[in-house]
Structure 1
Amino acid sequence: MSESRVRFFEQQISILGYNQSLQALDWMKEVMSAPAYARHDGTHYYNHLVDVAQDLLNHGIRDQDIITAALLHDAVEDVPGITNNMIDAKFNTKVTKMVDLVTKEPGVNYKKDDLLKILYLEPILNNPGAALIKTADRKHNFSTLRAASPEKKMRQAIETEKFFFPFFKEAMERYPRYATYFLSAKTAIKPHLMEIKEHYDEVNVLKAKIAELESQHIKHRISK
């Protein structure tokens, strides 16, 4: 099913005449077909890149540079040897800038304090294309969480509610022409986010009850 989506996307950008995007797609398929690039749901990682770019197309985004950068948005961060200079040489400065903005710096603990917001999301907000790509990325990542551990689901839920919902809101205000897309991300994510939080709370309550029953059972055995 995932490969049929890739073929459909390839046909669509071919019809649109997005030769630059086709080049990016071919490149990512080549470098991300190895088993090392399988996602937690078992699909090749480049399927994520395609799904991110496809969602933007589905919502009327027809800027070829944005679609190309969406296909390359994890290249520098995840593929050893790929650099911004390589992307600039193969594509253009606008594509490189968007990819650079959504690429996290190695060695930075973005989970500490509000560094995700200050060092990462706020600079992204200054570029409409990068903001769209980051939104599509979070939207798709959240849609694939069903195969993730409960702990990862909860971490993603908390991070999204704290940092990304305000990010979507700010992006809507800054870029009215893309407001419907930023709104679509929150609309798509929120029901799943609430489901994760509710399930996590239910599991914790159940664990607490089990621990209490076990404690009572041990006390009862000791008292005998």
Structure 2
Amino acid sequence: MAGSRVLFFEHTLSIKGFDKALEALDWMKEEMCKEKGFSRHDGGDYYDHLVATAQDLLDVGIKDEDIIIACLLHDSVEDVEGITVKMVAGRFGENVAHMVDLVTKKPGVDYKVGDNLKRYLEAISKHPGASLIKTADRIHNFGTLKNATPEKKLRQALETEKYFIPFFKTCRGAHPRYAKYFFRAKTTIEPHLWEIKEHYEEIEQLRDQLRKQERTA
């Protein structure tokens, strides 16, 4: 399935004449593959995620090749040793590099701290391309939590509810031409988010009941 998705994506880029995007794809297929230790929690190549996010943007009519390139490269600087923003700029231009830099989490910053994550998303929300990329990234990450640990599912649900749902709203106001996509992100994610929260609330209630039974036994 993933292989056919990548082939379809390559075909789409070829038809559009997005030669630089094809170059970016080839680079990520080489660097972010299972053979080099880059795999998703479903066991697939990590670059499958990059293809899925970029394809989602193409599907909703994003025609700017720079945005598609930056989407393909959005995890490269953060995760691949030796790839830098300067290197991205040299190969694909300053505009692409700026978007990649905006969505790249910086070393030494704890993004589990709410204020840090909030500042990170606020900076992204000021740029339309970076906002689209981060939104596509969250949609795909949230939609592929099936094989994630229970702890990760709950953490993603709470983080998304507190920070990303407001982020989508901010982006709708800041970039009205893409408002439908940001609203779609909210409506796509929320039902799954509620399901995860309800599931863990039920588990906690059962645990409380067991603890009470143990105390009275």
CA offsets, 1:162-194, max 9 Å, x none?
111111001001111100110111111000000
Distance (Å, rounded) in 2 between the aligned partners of 1:200 and 1:35: 35
Alignment correspondent of 1:165: 165
Which protein has the larger Cα radius of gyration, Structure 1 or Structure 2?
1
Distance (Å, rounded) in 2 between the aligned partners of 1:4 and 1:212: 52
Distance (Å, rounded) in 1 between the aligned partners of 2:203 and 2:141: 23
CA offsets, 1:88-142, max 9 Å, x none?
1111110000000000001101222421012x11111111000000000001000
Q: Which consecutive residues of structure 2, in runs of 5 or more, have no partner in the other structure?
A: none
Distance (Å, rounded) in 2 between the aligned partners of 1:71 and 1:47: 10
* Match status 1:190 vs 2:190: yes
Large movers: runs of 4+ above 3 Å: none
Normalization by structure 1: what TM-score? 0.94
Please give the secondary structure, in 2, of the residue aligned with 1:211: helix
CA offsets, 1:4-30, max 9 Å, x none?
101100100110000010000000000
Q: State how many pairs are aligned.
A: 216
Distance (Å, rounded) in 1 between the aligned partners of 2:206 and 2:37: 37
Q: Please give the residue correspondences for 1:72-87 in structure 2 after superposition, counting only pairs within 5 Å.
A: 72-87=73-88
Alignment correspondent of 1:220: none
Alignment correspondent of 1:176: 176
Q: Which consecutive residues of structure 1, in runs of 5 or more, have no partner in the other structure?
A: 218-224
Alignment correspondent of 2:10: 10
Distance (Å, rounded) in 1 between the aligned partners of 2:62 and 2:113: 34
Offset at residue 35 of structure 1 (A): 5.2
Normalization by structure 2: what TM-score? 0.97
Offset at residue 63 of structure 1 (A): 0.5
Percent identical? 59
Alignment correspondent of 1:109: 110
